Amino acid sequence: MKILVINCGSSSLKYQLIDMNDESTIASGLCERVGLDGKITAKAKGQKVKFDVSMPDHTTAFYEVKKILTEGDLKVIDSLEEIAAIGHRVVQGGALYKESCLVNEQVKADIDMLSDLAPLHNPAHIQGINAAEDVFGKDVPQVVVFDNAFHSTMPPKAYMYPLPYEYYEKHAIRKYGAHGTSHRYVSKRLAELHPEYKKVIICHLGNGSSITAVKDGKVIDTSMGLTPLDGFIMGTRTGAIDPSAVTFLMQKEGLTPAETDNIMNKKSGFLGISGVSSDMRDVEEAAADGNERAQLALDIFYYEVPKIIASYIVALQGLDALVFTAGIGENGCNVREGICKELECLGIKMDYEKNDGIRGKEVRLDAEGSTAAIFMLPTNEELMIARDTKEIVEAL
Ligand code: ADP
């Protein structure tokens, strides 16, 4: 069974064709600048091809994907009929969707209705689902996998904000979390390797980062909130700050909510503090060259991340395993080391020699005598989406 996994952004479409017989990736690619000039990067058969092509909307982007998969040098299938189903990543399912499901008109209407909570993402997902219907026809089942569904097990004490209760009732303001598909993949993978570990903390560290506390396979708390802005310093996002700092800034600078949102989401974090870059590697390089603001950005990161981990150890009432994943977590050996150094006071000890140079492969990293196991487990959100899609389609 072949499944096409789709992740639609407002001006992008990422795809991955997965063969579920061995869970291998047959082809993948990224359509960028949809609605603008249009650029495609496509990978298959060990080749990577980049080209420009006009894509005025997501439907034309899907036609391009269809062409790449079925024609020319990167052709991997004879016809679209070989694709059994399509799985879409959806950022926000609110409190309505606790698991993945088949797309129908009601599901589309709900995703649209939840756009308020994810204005950049949910409208793009609807466009993607409609475009897939146009190109593949209505007979190919489509499944949606909600990014925050894994977090739906959080108890009210973790997800409620102490605002007047009426705002929760009126606007559904609460913590929803994000990166749930990644946290779920990693949590399941660890459970396969070590079913005995019941209290787990997963650090998904990338451009966007979140930390999740998982007890008996269920999320009890996570660092992202109503939106993916909450938590700790990220590439361009603030993470948690005093809410009054926001209204203060708006008043002082005469900013609109949209302008403030833009500053907190796109101009803050590593980029805002260092003035150098949002990319961890650039910030590390600048700090090593003596840039004090770059060093300050790193100092904030190494202060905030262990503090959240420590607070989740209390939430879990102990810790069996700490896991690192995503771009920084999988590749940043010195980042994993820097975080674990701060946790030594809790008896958590990393084997720093073993950690050195480890990139992109599953590995256990704790030293003898550590109070908790430490792992690096690469995430695979696309595979998780494909697995859900397969399960739902097979049950039809
Ligand atoms: P996204 O949230 O966009 O999916 P990724 O998970 O791909 O992001 O992570 C991107 C981040 O990973 C960037 O900050 C990048 O600097 C970081 N990264 C990649 N390789 C390394 C490395 N060797 N050391 C430290 N950070 C790295």
17-72 pLDDT, tens digit each: 999 999 999 999 999 999 989 999 999 999 999 999 999 999 999 999 999 999 99
Q: Is the CB of 205 under 6 A from ligand 1?
A: no
Residue whose entry in the numeric block shows the structure tokens 């050996």: 333
Cβ of 335 less than 6 Å from ligand 1? yes
Looking from the CA of residue 208, the nearest atom of ligand 1 is 2
Among 77-81, 310-314, 318-322, 372-376, the minimum mean pLDDT is found in 77-81
Q: What mean pLDDT comes out for the span 135-159?
A: 96
Amino acid 345: pLDDT:
98
Largest CA distance in the chain: 60
Task: Assess whether the C-beta atom of 332 lies below 6 angstroms from ligand 1.
Answer: yes
Question: Rounded to whole angstroms, how far apart are CA atoms 278 and 65?
Answer: 30
Q: What average pLDDT does range 223-249 have in this prediction?
A: 97
Q: What is the model's pLDDT at position 119? A: 82
Is the shortest distance between the CB of 202 and ligand 1 below 6 Å?
A: no
Q: Exposed, middle or buried, 292 (CB in 10 Å: 0-12/13-18/19+)?
A: exposed
The catalytic residue positions are 147
Q: Which atom of ligand 1 is nearest to the CA of 333?
A: 24
Site to probe by mutation for ligand 1, drawn from 30, 147, 328 as the one with most ligand atoms within 8 Å of Cβ, is 328
Q: Whose CA is nearest to atom 25 of ligand 1?
A: 332
pLDDT tens sequence across 106-117:
999 999 999 988
The token pair that represents 366 in the structure block: 């704790």
Helices 122-136 & 105-113, crossing angle to 10 degrees? 150
Question: pTM for the full model?
Answer: 0.95
pLDDT of residue 360: 83
Average pLDDT over residues 215-226: 98
